[in-house]
Amino acid sequence: MATPESRRAGNAPGSQSLQQEPADNAAMAGQIVTLWQSGWESGALAPGAIAALEAGKVLYLPHLAFALAPGEARLLTPAVRNPKARNISLGADALLKGAVGDAATLAELAGMIGRFRRQAAQLIEAMLPQYRDAMRLAPTSYRPAKVETRAQSWRADDRRLHVDAFPSRPNYGERILRVFSNINPEGVPRIWRIGEPFEAVARHFLPRAKAYSGWQARCLQALRITKSLRSEYDHLMLQLHDGMKSDLDYQQDAQQMTMAFAPGSTWICFSDQTSHAVMSGQFMLEQTLHLPALAQYDRSASPLAILSRLTGRALI
Ligand code: SIN
Ligand code: FE
């Protein structure tokens, strides 16, 4: 069962975070694949790199920096974020959300985030040509807040290992591919933990997952808690997300490695598949690309395919 209670007495999920640094596991080093290119115009990835990405590994591009235009350094301050918003975001409609400042600052923010949006899309189109016609860009986000001082409920706390799953937006197995660039101007890396492969996560948490209820899914939709009917796939992904985050023993003991993403670097992963947590850092740009699972090079590698195989059911 994915109960909100930790198995460790007295540790309600919301009340504290990790007691000590979990040990890095040498076997985990293969979860990162390093690519040395320095430009956003790229050739197609080698089949091995594509397979690694689709297997849930992180592609790390230490020399691929997002270049700030003259004057944009002044945007690297948390003061540009509306304190009520988690991040600043720019949609396809060019609408900027979550930012505060005068008209010139807002225009400059939109310019910087929009440029990252185009470069990230260009990068993925070139690296993964099979995705080109199938992918859809989500809003682009700029995260100027310091990760380590953010107070959050356990469920929203991305400092706990998790796979991404969204409570209000069922996605029926559509993939969440993300491009991240660390634009910290003071040499501060973004520190992540990266956990075990998706199938291991699923084998660990599926036996404790609450059963799917179609009736409950219809209620959530009627109450507009979800934007469409939550499928069994979406239910199970949330059960994995919540099961991982609410289990402090798992957070501590699961196979994992710590990775420092340097300023001036870019990294890419399927965040619905890669077990990840962000421990510290400040100033990052992020682009999400949604992709139908059927557009993958290896259709059997998706969370939907893996969960369907493990449960023996079609989940959407
Ligand atoms: C997350 O996707 O969990 C957070 C990533 C980050 O902010 O570095
Ligand atoms: Fe996440």
pLDDT digits (tens, 9 = 90+) for 28-49: 878 999 999 999 998 999 999 9
> Architecture of domain 30-311 in CATH?
Sandwich (2.60)
- Three-state SS for 298? coil
- Tell me, in angstroms, the distance from the centre of ligand 2 to residue 128's CA: 22
Q: Which residue has the higher pLDDT, 152 or 266?
A: 266
Ligand 1 atom showing the smallest separation from residue 277 Cα: 3
- Give residue limits of the domains in the chain: 30-311
What are the pLDDT digits (tens) for 218-255? Answer: 999 999 999 999 999 999 999 999 999 999 999 999 99
Instruction: Judge if pTM exceeds 0.95.
Output: no
pLDDT at 5 over 60: no
Among 184, 193, 271, the mutation site with the greatest number of ligand 1 atoms within 8 A of its Cβ is: 271
pLDDT tens-place string over residues 168-191: 999 999 999 999 999 999 999 999
The residue behind tokens 């990405």 is 53
Q: What's the per-residue H, E or C state across 34-96?
A: ECCCCCCCCCCCCHHHHHHHHCCCEEEECCCCCCCCCCHHHHCCHHHECCCCCCEEECCCCCE
Lowest-pLDDT range of 22-26, 85-89, 111-115, 154-158:
22-26
Q: What is the pLDDT of residue 22?
A: 64
Atom of ligand 1 nearest to the CA of 143: 7
> In this predicted structure, what is the pLDDT of residue 20?
54
Instruction: From the CA of 147, give the closest atom in ligand 1.
Output: 7
Give the nearest ligand 1 atom to 180 CA: 8
Ligand 1, atom 8, lies closest to the CA of 278
Sign of CA dihedral 243, 248, 249, 252: positive
* Confidence band, pLDDT 50/70/90 cuts, at residue 88: very high
What pLDDT is stored for residue 186 in this prediction? 97
- Residue ranges lining ligand 1, Cβ < 6 Å: 143, 158, 190, 271, 276, 278, 284
DSSP 149: G
Per-residue pLDDT band for 4 (boundaries 50, 70, 90) equals very low
Q: Which atom of ligand 1 is nearest to the CA of 276?
A: 3
The pLDDT of residue 219? 96
- Ligand nearest the Cα atom of residue 165: 2
Dihedral (C-alpha) 298, 300, 301, 303: value to the nearest 10 degrees? 140
Give the CA angle between residues 289, 90, 105 to the nearest 5°.
145
Ligand 1 centroid – CA 214 distance (Å): 31
Indicate which residue's Cα is closest to atom 1 of ligand 1: 158
Averaged pLDDT, 89-94: 93
- Residue 12 in this model has a pLDDT that exceeds 70: no
Instruction: Decide: residue 101, CB within 10 A, 0-12 exposed, 13-18 middle, 19+ buried.
Output: middle
Write out pLDDT tens, residues 273-305. Answer: 999 999 999 999 999 999 999 999 999 999 999
Of 15, 11, 113, 131, whose CA–CA distance to 66 is shortest? Answer: 113
Q: Whose CA is nearest to atom 7 of ligand 1?
A: 278
| Residue 16: per-residue pLDDT | 44
Region 50-56: what's the mean pLDDT? 98
Residues near 195 by beta carbon (within 8 Å), at least 6 away in sequence: 161, 201, 244, 254, 255, 256, 274, 275, 276, 277
Given a cut of 60, whether residue 3 has pLDDT beyond it is: no
Instruction: Indicate the top mutation candidate among 276, 282, 283, 285 to test ligand 1's pocket, ranked by most ligand atoms within 8 A of CB.
Output: 276
- Confirm if 154 and 11 have CB atoms less than 8 A apart: no
